[in-house]
Amino acid sequence: MKKILFLSLFSLIILVSCKDNTTSPVSQTVIWPLAVGNYWVIKISIYDSTGKSVFIQIDTMKVISDSIINSEKVYNIQLLHDTIFSFDYNYLCNRADGLYNYFNINNSFVASLVLKYSGNAGDTYISDSSTIKIDSINAIVKVPAGNFECYKYSVEYFNGFYWEKGPIYLSPGIGFIYEEYYIPLNYNSNSFRLAMTWELLSYKLY
């Protein structure tokens, strides 16, 4: 999932006024509202091994289109000025048990649960080789866009070389709020350091 985010989770230089914020969720029946035109302006910060911020970039995650896969409507979210980071969840849809993404496996699209919703604290599941645990369903998170009650998901993912991990916070009916990304101090270390954060600056929902 950190191939997300959606730990990625979406390198543009576009400033959107906070007056565009929608102060209430479109619908709390979904963890991430999907409608063409919805967007989330985020601040991405990268930290060195001392914890010092060494790079900051503003980007926008936007639902740019929809399409049909296996008779199901899916939505494409992209980082508008993606030059460094990646957002690998491009075929998203909400189902009764949470947010799904379709992956192309051997030229066949297969849907996988990305963010379980609703759920209970302690629920654990596997998604596209990531282990995801719901740590809390009512964590309070303060970001520049405001204060939000969130689901806190802890994600662990092996990228082929080392483990990546970190929490991601989403508020039902609003979507992405905040994420932290941790990497090992070195390849052989069991200790991790903060490498990157994503935080919500403003958003617009339709």
The pLDDT-based confidence of 3 (bands split at 50, 70, 90) is: very low
Length of the chain (residues): 206
The pLDDT-based confidence of 1 (bands split at 50, 70, 90) is: very low
3-state class of 4 per DSSP? coil
pTM: 0.84
pLDDT tens-digit series, residues 133-188: 999 999 999 999 999 999 999 999 888 888 899 999 999 999 999 999 999 987 77
**How far, in Å, CA of 201 to CA of 206, rounded?**
17
Report whether CATH 2.40.360 matches the domain 18-204: yes
Delimit the domains of the chain by residue range: 18-204
**What mean pLDDT do residues 58-70 have?**
94
The mean of the pLDDT values for the chain is: 85
Lowest mean pLDDT among 5-9, 71-75, 139-143, 182-186: 5-9
Between 167 and 22, name the one with better pLDDT: 167
The pLDDT-based confidence of 11 (bands split at 50, 70, 90) is: very low
Question: 140 has which bridge partners?
Answer: 149
The pLDDT value given to residue 163: 86
The pLDDT-based confidence of 10 (bands split at 50, 70, 90) is: very low
The pLDDT-based confidence of 26 (bands split at 50, 70, 90) is: low
| Residue 156 Cα distances to 53, 54, 179, angstroms | 23, 24, 13
Q: Sort 56 into a burial class: Cβ within 10 Å, 0-12 / 13-18 / 19+.
A: exposed
